[in-house]
Amino acid sequence: MRARDLGITIGPLSPGEHNAITDVPGVRVGHTTLIEGDAVRTGVTVVLPHEGEPLLDPLFAGTHRLNGNGELTGSHWIRESGLLASTIGLTNTHSVGVVRDALVAAAVAHAPPEAAMWSMPVVAETYDGGLNEINGMHVRSEHVHAALASASAGAVAEGSVGSGTGMVCHGFKGGIGTSSRLLGEDAGGHAVGVLVQANHGRRERLRVNGHPVGERLDAIPLPLFSVDMPPEAGSIIVIIATDAPLLPGQCDRLAQRAALGIARSGGSGENSSGDLMFCFATGNRGLSAVIDEQTHALAVTMLGHARRHRGGDPECDGGRRHDARPRGVGRLRPRSGGAAGGHGLRYEVRGHDPGALPVDLRLGRGRLHRPALEGRAQHDHRLGALDRVQRPDLPDEMLQRRHCLGPHLEQQALLTGHAMALFDPRPAGKHVLQLAARTGLL
């Protein structure tokens, strides 16, 4: 279940057919999920940037670091050359090496036998040692090759799958999330897609469409890890794809904007967090000539900076403040099992039923409050263009902001840059966003 299934719409632009990174033509995603007994919860996810071999047909790319306690292999050369020449791999912290080596082997297998091969794959990681026996080195090369073989366009499996199997985000089950947005034809008709591996954030900082939902869900117990984990521990990896003709510097700038999406959803770049963003653009092809020794110059296409940044001012449409919220804190995938089963997220329930949370939470004057404590009923106070949404399948309390965000690429990273895989893994529990909607938090 996704946020849009609950009527929670974030941002004014429309998603692609699958609302996934694969809505960028040519992009494919594959997973290998490893679950063994109560100890192993890990895996591999791969993102193939186009239908060919990236080593022979590279793309312009860029990176950004919000906080650097993490690894993104190959990033030094990408910053130097501006080129992505590999499939992108995601896994746990202690399996980066084996995934990198397997991607090299796969690239060599597809190369002409007479070619002198040089490969520096991009592999990123987050730490799943709270739920996974990370020192067991359970990810092997055959798991990477299986993920590559399974890679496809279309709908992308989310939540506790692939490299996201052992991840926790804002005190809920985290993992893989994805989203996309399409620009109008007057803005070029380009697609922007994002895939994240979310394994970060404190519960109380969680924001959904700008509302402090985490502060009101503190009655749901936090997970009990197999090892001691500080509340701020964890990281997030953001992969951005677009078919717009961006140059490397523009890819850097688009990756940088994804950090705004993390912040607006409650991330803060903690000291122990590896918050790394990577962007590639498929709008220029045939860049293999850049890396040969014969070509002197190569013609490329560039999207204008003003077009990419159009609508970036904080005020628009007669002074209404645009409210560009990060897309989709709400990839609700009920894939985990009970207190100690499923994907291994353990809770100390303490006899509390989260379905019995009080229903007197309302939205008023742009913040959350309890009418019983503050002595007021629900307000229709408007901030900018705050409108009541009348829908038969949702409570009257469900509110939706209308936005005046212009169609530009920078804000796409903000809108789609935090499609986190949040859900309550207990079979009897309510999904986070369902609970928030029912109690009037949204």
Q: In sequence order, what are the beta bridge partners of 331?
A: 2
- Each as own residue / partner, the long-range contacts of residues 365-370 (CB below 8 Å, 24 or more positions apart, any chain) are 367/212, 368/211, 368/212, 368/215, 368/216, 368/441
Q: Is 393 a catalytic residue?
A: no
Is there a contact between 341 and 131 (Cβ–Cβ < 8 Å)?
no
Catalytic residue among 86, 160, 273, 336: 273
Catalytic residue among 23, 275, 323, 424: 275
Q: Name the phi and psi angles at 255, rounded to 5.
A: -60, -40
**Token reading at 402:** 């209308």
Q: Is 75 a catalytic residue?
A: no
**Token reading at 423:** 């859900």
Q: Which residues contact 193 (CB under 8 A, 6 or more apart)?
A: 16, 20, 21, 22, 23, 24, 27, 178, 179, 180, 240, 241, 242, 416
Q: In sequence order, what are the beta bridge partners of 169?
A: 172
C-alpha–C-alpha distance, residues 368 and 193, integer Å? 31
Q: Can you give the C-alpha Rg of the chain in angstroms? A: 22
Catalytic residue among 235, 243, 252, 424: 235
CA torsion sign for 15, 16, 18, 23 is negative
C-alpha–C-alpha distance, residues 195 and 368, integer Å? 30
Distance from chain centroid for Cα 58: 24
CA angle 156/144/148 to nearest 5° reads 50
Question: What is the β-pairing status of strands 235-242 and 274-281?
Answer: parallel
Q: Is 273 a catalytic residue?
A: yes
Q: In sequence order, what are the beta bridge partners of 28?
A: 48
The residues carrying an active-site annotation are 235, 273, 275
